[in-house]
Amino acid sequence: MKQINKKYICYYCLGCNAEELNSFTPRQRCKNFVAGIKDWQNKWREELKNGNK
Protein backbone atom coordinates (compact mmCIF):
# COMPACT_ATOMS: atom_id res chain seq x y z
CA MET A 1 0.00 0.00 0.00
CA LYS A 2 1.48 3.35 -1.02
CA GLN A 3 1.42 6.54 1.04
CA ILE A 4 -1.50 8.88 0.29
CA ASN A 5 -0.65 12.50 -0.44
CA LYS A 6 -2.01 15.02 2.09
CA LYS A 7 -3.83 16.97 -0.63
CA TYR A 8 -6.41 14.17 -0.90
CA ILE A 9 -9.23 13.80 1.61
CA CYS A 10 -8.43 10.09 1.90
CA TYR A 11 -5.37 10.99 4.01
CA TYR A 12 -7.68 12.30 6.77
CA CYS A 13 -10.26 9.49 6.57
CA LEU A 14 -11.07 6.35 8.57
CA GLY A 15 -13.97 5.42 6.27
CA CYS A 16 -14.15 2.84 3.52
CA ASN A 17 -10.65 1.20 3.54
CA ALA A 18 -10.66 1.38 -0.26
CA GLU A 19 -6.96 2.25 -0.24
CA GLU A 20 -6.26 -1.43 0.35
CA LEU A 21 -7.45 -2.19 -3.21
CA ASN A 22 -4.88 -2.29 -6.03
CA SER A 23 -7.08 -0.11 -8.24
CA PHE A 24 -7.49 2.63 -5.59
CA THR A 25 -7.22 6.26 -6.70
CA PRO A 26 -7.30 9.03 -4.04
CA ARG A 27 -10.18 11.53 -4.17
CA GLN A 28 -10.86 15.16 -3.33
CA ARG A 29 -14.50 14.40 -2.37
CA CYS A 30 -16.05 11.23 -0.96
CA LYS A 31 -19.52 10.37 0.31
CA ASN A 32 -18.07 7.74 2.72
CA PHE A 33 -15.69 10.17 4.46
CA VAL A 34 -15.21 9.68 8.22
CA ALA A 35 -12.87 12.16 9.89
CA GLY A 36 -9.89 10.46 11.50
CA ILE A 37 -7.75 13.48 12.40
CA LYS A 38 -8.73 16.29 14.73
CA ASP A 39 -9.10 19.67 12.99
CA TRP A 40 -8.72 17.97 9.59
CA GLN A 41 -10.46 20.75 7.63
CA ASN A 42 -7.91 23.40 8.55
CA LYS A 43 -5.00 21.03 7.92
CA TRP A 44 -6.42 20.04 4.52
CA ARG A 45 -6.97 23.68 3.51
CA GLU A 46 -3.38 24.55 4.44
CA GLU A 47 -2.06 21.60 2.46
CA LEU A 48 -4.08 22.62 -0.60
CA LYS A 49 -2.81 26.22 -0.31
CA ASN A 50 0.81 25.10 0.06
CA GLY A 51 0.48 22.63 -2.82
CA ASN A 52 -0.41 25.38 -5.28
CA LYS A 53 2.85 27.31 -4.69
Q: Is residue 15 part of a domain?
A: yes
Q: Which of 28, 36, 35 is nearest to 9 (CA)?
A: 28
The total number of structural domains in the chain stands at 1
Q: Is residue 47 part of a domain?
A: yes
Confidence of residue 4 (pLDDT cuts 50, 70, 90): confident
Query: What was the pLDDT predicted at 22?
Result: 83
Count of CB atoms situated within 10 Å of the CB of 9 = 19
Query: What was the pLDDT predicted at 40?
Result: 94
pLDDT, tens digit, 9 for 90 and up, residues 18-44: 888 888 888 888 888 999 999 999 999
Q: How far apart are CA 2 and CA 4, in angstroms?
A: 6
Q: Is residue 1 part of a domain?
A: no
Q: Is residue 45 part of a domain?
A: yes
* Residues 15, 29 contacting (CB under 8 angstroms): no
* Residues 11, 5 contacting (CB under 8 angstroms): yes
24 lies in which domain range?
Answer: 9-51
Confidence of residue 52 (pLDDT cuts 50, 70, 90): low
Q: How far apart are CA 7 and CA 28, in angstroms?
A: 8
Query: What was the pLDDT predicted at 1?
Result: 56
